[in-house]
Structure 1
Amino acid sequence: MLKSLRGGQPLPEIRIQDAAGNPLFHEGVEYSSPARGTWTIAHVSMLIPRAHQIFIGGDCCLRGVVLSAAEFGGLDRFSMVTVKEDDVCQNKIDEMYTEGITDILHKLPVLPPAVVVFANCIHEFMACDMDAIYRKLHERFPSVDFIPSSMNPTMRKAGMTPEERMRMQLYAALDMRTKDPKSVNIVGNVYARSPQCELVKWLTDGGYVVRDICTCSGYDEYKTMAESSVNIYTIPLMKKGAEALEKRLNQETLYMPVSFSYEEIESCLTKLAERFDLPVLRRPDGAPDFNLLEKEADDALARARQTAGDMAVTIDYAAVSRPLELARLLLEHGFHVARVYTDAIPPGDEQAFAWLKEHAPDLMLHSVVNFRCRFVPRGGTAEGRRVLAIGQKAAYLSGTNNFVNIVENGSLWGFNGICRLAQMIGEAALHESDVRGVVQIKAWGCRG
Structure 2
Amino acid sequence: MLKRVGGEINPEGAVTTISKASFPVPFPAGLEFNSPAHGNWNIVHTGMLMPEVIQIYVCADNCMRGVVLTAAEMNAAERFSFVIIEEDNLLNGNLEDVTIEGVTDVLNKLEQKPKAVLLFTVCLHHFLGCDLDRVYEELEARFPQVVFVRCFMDPIMQKHGVTPDQKLRKAMYDPLTEQKAVSGTVSLIGSDFTLDESSDIRRILRTTGYTLKELPGCRTWEEYQQLGTGELLISCYPPAKYGADILAERLKRQHLYLPGSFDYGEIKEEIQSLVHALRIEKNVLSDDLEAFFEREITLCEDTFRHTKTVIGDTPIVLDYLFHPRPLGLAKILLEHEFQVTAVYLDSISPEEKSTFDWLKTYHPDLELRATIQAKMRVLPRKSETRTLAIGQKAAWFSGSRNFVNMVQGGGLWGFDGIRRTLELMTEAFLKEKDPRDLIVRKGWGCESCI
Report the TM range for the smaller structure's normalisation. over 0.9
Q: Aligned with 1:127: secondary structure?
A: coil
Aligned 8 A contact 2:407 2:444 in 1: yes
- Measure, in 1, the Cα distance between the counterparts of 2:423 and 2:3: 47
Matched, 1:280 2:289: no
Moved more, 241-250 or 257-266: 241-250
Per-residue displacement from partner, 1:67-112 (whole Å, max 9, x unpaired)?
Answer: 2211111110000000111222222211111111111011123211
TM-score normalised by structure 1 residue count: 0.95
1:348 lines up with 2:351 in the alignment: yes
Counterpart position of 1:136: 138
Residues 76/302 of structure 1: CA separation in 2 closer, same or farther (3 Å cut): same
Instruction: Please give the residue correspondences for 1:9-24 in structure 2 after superposition, counting only pairs within 5 Å.
Output: 9-11=9-11, 12-24=14-26
- Identify the residue that residue 291 of structure 1 maps to in structure 2: 294
Task: Give the SS at the match of 1:386.
Answer: coil
Q: Secondary structure at the match of 1:56?
A: strand
Does structure 2 retain, via aligned residues, the 8 Å contact 1:270–1:288? Answer: no
**Mapping of residues 3-402 of structure 1, within 5 Å:** 4=4, 7-11=7-11, 12-278=14-280, 279-281=283-285, 289-381=292-384, 385-402=385-402
Deviation for aligned residue 1:302: 1.4
Counterpart Cα distance in 1 of 2:368 and 2:341: 9
- Opposite residue 43 of structure 1, the aligned amino acid is H
Whether contact under 8 Å (1:320, 1:409) holds in the other structure is yes
Cα drift, residue 289 of structure 1? 3.5
Q: Structure 1 residues 6 and 236, CA, compared in 2 at 3 Å: closer, same or farther?
A: farther
- Kept in 2, the 8 Å contact 1:273–1:280? The answer is no
Compute the displacement of 1:125 (Å): 2.0
Find the counterpart in structure 1 of residue 438 from structure 2: 438
SS at match of 1:357: helix
Letter in 2 for 1:301: F
Deviations 1:359-389 (A, max 9, x none): 11111011111111011212234xxx41100
1:313 & 1:6 partners in 2: Cα distance?
31
Cα distance between partner residues in 2 of 1:75 and 1:347: 38
Q: Match for 1:54: what amino acid?
A: I
Give the CA deviation at 1:5. Answer: 6.2
Displacement of 1:409 in angstroms is 0.4
In the alignment, residue 293 of structure 2 is paired with which amino acid? F
Q: Which amino acid aligns with 1:418?
A: I
TM-superposed deviation, 1:320:
0.5
Give the secondary structure class of the aligned counterpart of 1:440: coil
SS of 2:48's equivalent in the other structure is helix
Residues 24 and 350, structure 2, Cα contact 8 Å, conserved in 1: no
Question: 2:40·2:443 contact (CA, 8 Å) conserved in 1?
Answer: yes
* Alignment: residue pair count: 443
Q: Which amino acid aligns with 1:77?
A: R
Equivalent residues of 1:342, 1:367 under 8 A apart: yes
**Residues in 1 aligned to 2:250 and 2:147: alpha-carbon distance in whole angstroms:** 16
Residues 236, 347 of structure 1: 8 Å contact kept: no
RMSD between superposed Cα atoms in Å: 1.7
In structure 2, the residue corresponding to 1:47 is in which secondary structure?
A: coil
Q: Distance in 1 between matches of 2:286 and 2:247?
A: 33
Structure 1 position 195, deviation (Å): 1.8
Counterparts of 1:238 and 1:347, CA distance in 2: 15
Q: Deviations over 1:392-421 (max 9, x none)?
A: 000000000000011000110001111111
Distance 2:6 2:41 in 1: 31
Q: Residues 265-306 of structure 1, C-alpha deviation per residue, up to 9 Å, x if partnerless?
A: 01111111122133234677x756311100111111211111
- d(CA) in 2 for partners of 1:210 and 1:415? 19
Identity level (%) = 37
